[in-house]
Amino acid sequence: MIFLPVVFLLYWFVFKQLRWQNLLILVASYVFYGWWDWRFLILIVITSLSSFASGLLIKHYDGNRRAQRAVSAANIVLNLGILATFKYFNFFAGSLQAVLSAMGVMVDWPTLNIILPVGISFYTFQALSYSIDVYARRIEPTRDIVAFFSFISFFPQLVAGPIERATNLLPQMLTARRFDYGRAVDGLRQMLWGFFKKLIIADGCAEVVNQTWNGLDSATGLMLFVCSLLFTFQIYADFSGYSDIAIGCAKLFGIRLTTNFKVPYFSRNVREFWRRWHITLMGWFTQYVYFPLGGSRCSRGRTVLNTIVVFSLSGLWHGADWTFVLWGLYHALLFIPLILLGSKSHKDTVAHGRWLPSFRELTAMVVTFLLVNFGWILFRAPDFASFSEFVSRLFSHSLFNYHGLTMRMATMLLWCAALLLVEWLQREKQHVLQIDGYRVLSLRPVRLALYAALVFLIFYFAGQVQTFIYFQF
């Protein structure tokens, strides 16, 4: 509660020069990140320093592409090696042990008893984007080490994104910033909406979802269907809520972060869904994996293979478990028919300029939502056995059994429906509380009453605060 106001006041009223502002951001970010465990700072310093040095070395070897390629590759191997050690070593060691055991070869691999650093996947990918972009000559390397370290560790988006590419965020760290009252107010509004989604929708749904999964052996099919719906909204409100808070917070400091969500549950097919869900992650994989593999500018068979690779890696990025890999492959399978049929991507917002969608658009949105919803069951499942039990109970005769449904479930479904309604009305805005275009809401007393009402709802209806889901990634 105190951290942000103190940093904000120091940033604009004490440290007015760019160099000192960047230094303040760096110190504040390290305090923010090291609050969980100061030892994690060692890793982010190593990642930052290696990526910064790689940029200078690539510039030093200008004209020698072989040497530049070696420097860039070394930085990639180092940072992915750190990520693999802390996040995936035990997973791959255990998987290999299981395979060898099935073949009759008994081995006893060592495991690492280490804690996964918060947000390591986010800042690692952000750092890698810099050295890759410098090598590809999309950006010039910087010699300002404070600005660069601030770019890697910028605290609003450090632990759960958006994943910022160097081409967007680093130049802002190198450019003088001036306080913009309108942008700051808009940032506060976006933060308010993010807190509403997190504390009311996400945490409320989490309570029901966790209880249902813990009592899986006694749940009816209908209870599980409701549970799947609530988790679908939980993960969206949780992650997009954090993104809204991060983007809004950055606006307070004159920084523009990349939009990470654009009403994904109004998508008309899975291709559009991934254009609207976790936009910065899929943008990263598209730029640095999909395109180098050939993207869609090759045979359809090769395009299918590239898509499978990208979604498999995306699933693995989310967590060191085969359920995440299978979740990624599930979405790849949903993509394949669109590739084979040559379906075009929807780049416009559904029902643009209209109050209601057409019947065809509505049908497409419902089908896409249900397909995505099913995938979230696999994402939430602690293991494949639990997923199998969940699905077998879901598609049983008890799917039509109302026994076990609770008032809390009904209440959360109403909250989710309200969220959908509000986001539908504001689907072409950057965030829901961009209300300047409404004549009634343009009145200052009305706007203040709306903000006060949201604050009241948060304090009155918020339950037990849950950790952000994507902190673990």
Q: What is the pLDDT of residues 318-327, one digit of tens each?
A: 987 889 999 9
Asked whether residue 144 carries a pLDDT value surpassing 70, the answer given is: yes
At 444 the pLDDT is 80
- With contact defined as beta carbons under 8 Å apart, do 314 and 125 qualify? no
Are 448 and 372 within one domain? yes
Question: What's the pLDDT band for 368 if we cut at 50, 70, 90?
Answer: very high
Q: Are residues 371 and 415 in the same domain?
A: yes
- Structure confidence at residue 100 as a pLDDT band (50, 70, 90): low
- Tell me which residue range forms the domain holding 196: 182-268+346-467
What pLDDT shows up at residue 89? 77
Q: Do both 248 and 153 map to the same domain?
A: no
Same domain for 197 and 81, yes or no, is: no
Within a domain: 332: no
The better pLDDT of the pair 92, 269 is held by 269
- Please tell me whether residues 105 and 207 are part of one structural domain: no
Of 141, 176, 211, which residue sits at a domain end? Answer: 176
Are residue 201 and residue 78 in the same domain, yes or no? no
- Do 140 and 225 have their domain in common? no
Domain match, 263 and 400 both:
yes
| Contact predicate 127/152, CB 8 Å | yes
- Calculate mean pLDDT across residues 398-426: 91
Residues 149, 207, single domain; the answer is no
- For residues 125 and 23, state if they share a domain: yes
Given the residues 60, 278, 318, 397, the one annotated as active site = 318
Does residue 54 lie in a domain region?
Answer: yes
Q: How many domains does the chain have?
A: 2
- What is the crossing angle of helices 145-153 and 120-135, to 10°? 140
In a domain, 309, yes or no: no
Domain boundary among the residues 145, 176, 207 is at: 176
d(CA 247, CA 250): 5
pLDDT-based confidence at residue 331 (cuts at 50, 70, 90): very high
Asked whether residue 39 falls in the same domain as residue 115, the answer is: yes
Among candidate residues 193, 197, 202, 144, the one with its CA nearest the CA of residue 172: 144
How much is the pTM?
0.93
Residue 456's Cα: distance from chain center in Å?
28
Q: Taking all residues of the chain, what is their mean pLDDT, rounded to a whole number?
A: 90
pLDDT at 109 over 70: no
Indicate the pLDDT class of residue 440, thresholds 50, 70 and 90.
Answer: confident
What is the Cα–Cα distance from 420 to 253, expressed in whole angstroms? Answer: 30
Residue 276 falls within a domain, yes or no?
A: no
| Active-site residue, 318 included | yes
Last residue of a domain, one of 117, 151, 176: 176
Q: Are residues 53 and 28 in the same domain?
A: yes
